Structure 1
């Protein structure tokens, strides 16, 4: 009756990577209902198709969430425009009333008060919505980052072509997230480039982009970020430099964030290729397409022009290489940039290891003003500058870092503060502020990490301030 027996078997979630002999030569068996069963042995290295399908489903879900957040951002932009118009109208009205108070009745004044309260309530509501949206964006970024890390691992182990399609989808999501965050940041923090605030209020959760371009956690010494004063056409450029030790030899430039994540540099510069221009330490920055770093011999500050590929160096008066930051050796010259220009931090024998801050004249490549602080440099995790104010960090525990000290070069006043923030990994060797997006960039045990900053506005407590001060209940 049965002219042929067709043996079917189902591989529940795996497909072999290469042709193998699945059959062992054993005969199949026929069950009581005529079904055929036979044994197949799969190799140990198999591709997780079901997992990849799950990732693709997650892509759709995250994409939907991102679309919702983008819609919210567009709504925030519309609301903000309306609220600003209302504030302007109320301001004009108040000015008219102040110039001619006798022309307005008490009832009319009460009505204006109600309008002010309504606008204030709307602004409080908008602020709460934006803060909630910000938390959602941080969560989405973590989800996308973790999946890209997993896809990168799969790409190196399994069939690259099978992974690449899904990986590209996640890169697109990450680009969309970047755009959403940028627009969100413009609304929540519209005064980028301005110093009309009273310093850092708090930091966001760590935003983990991915493992470094070398795909190696052994590259613990390094840094990454954006140009702090980009040349026209280079506004989206990123850079990266790292090594397994404190020697500085390579720096790579990337056209934009997408190329950084895809590990596709525009150009990689070798500081040792033609001449021995390599440095040491890793508290370097890129500013105006110039790489500022600590020169090895002689011990000095150096600048490598990424356009002309030439080097200049200057010895920093009295600077010593005897005092480094807490987390790593050889971090003797720490370069920083903010809204006010280029800086370098170091210690001297005369200061007995206390941190010294100097402003650099970029044209002359020389120090033009120096400030002495009272904080001991080896007790500091790292330091950065915002609007002429130095911020120093220290470890609280393996998960928490803290901004504990500030020095204001504008007033020559120092203070001890407590602004805790979360670390992705326990140790880090690079932390710098970028004034073009008001973010902190950290190199944390081989990972690209960043933070959004919130600033305390002038004369404002943590809660929203009343719009019109001279009208009372």
Structure 2
């Protein structure tokens, strides 16, 4: 065959040449016809199994590539849909479902996401099996890489969506808290205008408690729903140095007090950030309170009063309370391990308890906050295990009893200034059945209640001085921890 001549090669058959196989194409010289066509002889094997396997492999690869393109198209559709939903959520002013995160299904747990994830996992397994069988290695490697990238993209999309949802939920919680704060302030201002009363922080220029606002639920305690017992609040000194918030859940057994957290600002409490967490390890029950940056509580397994410096988590004082019962003797109804119940108000630091001498009736003692010495003691006519709780406000003890699983009644008051007691009927709604720690803050005139694991507040509305509650029964003002008790059955006063 001449190099300059026009050459047309007619290939009869060219099979795939595999390693280790004999040469199936043989070149033959000087076989050019008159038209300049070179004739070659090709020897085909008798068995065509290899060719069939190659065709099947190529067909499987094509199907796999088509399925991959479909899945990627669906993933892109999901991404666009999620982005549109996020934009709609951001434009909404109020979404009730966010108040209960358990009712909102995460998108990465939706059936569509699960189906897409299962299909991608199946594609990955198929690609791995084909890779093991061999053939078209480069194409399979590229395809397997694309499937892996698609799976990672899907996971990243789900994780990003969940993080966005959690961040948005926290923002909504803060905004709802601020809105409710404004609503409560407006309600309190209106009540003050109606009664002619404008009460300054830490002031006792009023005629006693008139009513309690509806409960405002801030959030679940930071340890979780299993920690149903505990206490929380603000510094109960009349003029605290800072707006310190504290949260002290008990262990799941409802008795042992070991950890607590401190927050300097309300928003930090709502977002669970910028806190100090301390371990104490020797508290008993939910009767603790904070007064002038010190925490006061019942020392575990004793009738000792304990005082801890919150700036360093240091136990600075421990002193027994004469005659006080402990180890679940004469605790509040449905609230065990409340032998000593500490309280702070405009008049100072108090401890509420019972003794064997009082036969379980409530006893009030005013304490020296520095030395924990008892300065004065009063006995009441109320049997402590028949009460659900008590708190102090402006030197007056207010006692509660349970009416139902959703309502309490502040039914009794004892004024330590006059030594007089009288009955009330102020209803207090509650979200869950049991009120554990109840703490009053003179600075904002609120009750801080630990309600079966949830942090709840109430606004207190007081009467003007010209509408002081009438006294229907009198009790002698008693001093000394073992003073004799005069039992009085007070009658219900007329409404002012």
Equivalence for 1:56? 90
**2-side partners of 1:177 and 1:151: how far apart?**
23
Note the C-alpha offset of 1:53: 5.8
Equivalence for 1:125? none
Equivalence for 1:80? none
* Residues 399, 458 of structure 1: alpha-carbon distance in 2 compared, 3 angstrom cutoff: same
Equivalence for 1:234? 242
Which structure: larger Rg? 2
User: Given the alignment, which residue of 145, 169, 173 partners 2:175?
Assistant: 173
* Residues 249, 154 of structure 1: alpha-carbon distance in 2 compared, 3 angstrom cutoff: farther
Per-residue deviation, residues 375-408 of structure 1 (Å, max 9, x unmatched):
0000000000111110000011111100111111
* Residues 362, 327 of structure 1: alpha-carbon distance in 2 compared, 3 angstrom cutoff: same
Note the C-alpha offset of 1:183: 5.6
* Residues 286, 166 of structure 1: alpha-carbon distance in 2 compared, 3 angstrom cutoff: same
Equivalence for 1:203? 212
**2-side partners of 1:248 and 1:442: how far apart?**
17
Per-residue deviation, residues 411-470 of structure 1 (Å, max 9, x unmatched):
1111122111111111121212111100011111110111111111111499xxxxxxxx
Q: Where does the alignment leave 5 or more consecutive residues of structure 2 unmatched?
A: 1-62, 76-80, 110-157, 193-197, 470-496
User: Given the alignment, which residue of 295, 311, 317 partners 1:291?
Assistant: 295
Per-residue deviation, residues 62-99 of structure 1 (Å, max 9, x unmatched):
9xxxxxxxxxxxxxxxxxxxxxxxxxxxxxxxxxxxxx
Does the CA-based 8 Å contact 1:213-1:260 persist in structure 2? no
Note the C-alpha offset of 1:27: 9.4
* Residues 308, 40 of structure 1: alpha-carbon distance in 2 compared, 3 angstrom cutoff: closer
Does the CA-based 8 Å contact 1:252-1:265 persist in structure 2? no
Alignment map for 1:230-269 (pairs within 5 Å): 234-235=242-243, 237-242=244-249, 243-245=251-253, 246-269=255-278
User: Given the alignment, which residue of 413, 420, 425 partners 2:420?
Assistant: 413
* SS of equivalent to 1:229: coil
Note the C-alpha offset of 1:342: 0.6
**2-side partners of 1:354 and 1:403: how far apart?**
17
Note the C-alpha offset of 1:162: 1.8
* Residues 421, 352 of structure 1: alpha-carbon distance in 2 compared, 3 angstrom cutoff: same
**2-side partners of 1:425 and 1:348: how far apart?**
30
* Residues 265, 225 of structure 1: alpha-carbon distance in 2 compared, 3 angstrom cutoff: farther
**1-side partners of 2:65 and 2:406: how far apart?**
56
Alignment map for 1:101-250 (pairs within 5 Å): 147-150=98-101, 159=159, 160-174=162-176, 176-177=178-179, 180=182, 184=186, 187-188=189-190, 189=192, 190-191=198-199, 192-214=201-223, 216-229=224-237, 234-235=242-243, 237-242=244-249, 243-245=251-253, 246-250=255-259
Does the CA-based 8 Å contact 2:331-2:339 persist in structure 1? yes
Equivalence for 1:120? none
Q: Tell me how many residue pairs correspond in the alignment.
A: 338
**2-side partners of 1:446 and 1:180: how far apart?**
25
**1-side partners of 2:185 and 2:404: how far apart?**
34
* Residues 55, 376 of structure 1: alpha-carbon distance in 2 compared, 3 angstrom cutoff: farther
Does the CA-based 8 Å contact 1:206-1:422 persist in structure 2? yes
Does the CA-based 8 Å contact 1:230-1:287 persist in structure 2? no
* Residues 376, 172 of structure 1: alpha-carbon distance in 2 compared, 3 angstrom cutoff: closer
Equivalence for 2:319? 314
CA RMSD of aligned residues (A): 3.4
Equivalence for 1:441? 448
Equivalence for 1:33? none
Note the C-alpha offset of 1:266: 2.3
Write out the 4+ residue segments of structure 1 that deviate beyond 3 Å after TM superposition. 24-28, 47-58, 151-160, 181-190, 230-233
Does the CA-based 8 Å contact 2:202-2:239 persist in structure 1? no
Q: Where does the alignment leave 5 or more consecutive residues of structure 1 unmatched?
A: 1-23, 29-35, 42-46, 63-142, 273-277, 463-473
* SS of equivalent to 1:163: helix
* Residues 259, 410 of structure 1: alpha-carbon distance in 2 compared, 3 angstrom cutoff: same
* SS of equivalent to 1:198: coil
Does the CA-based 8 Å contact 1:398-1:425 persist in structure 2? yes
Does the CA-based 8 Å contact 1:231-1:289 persist in structure 2? no
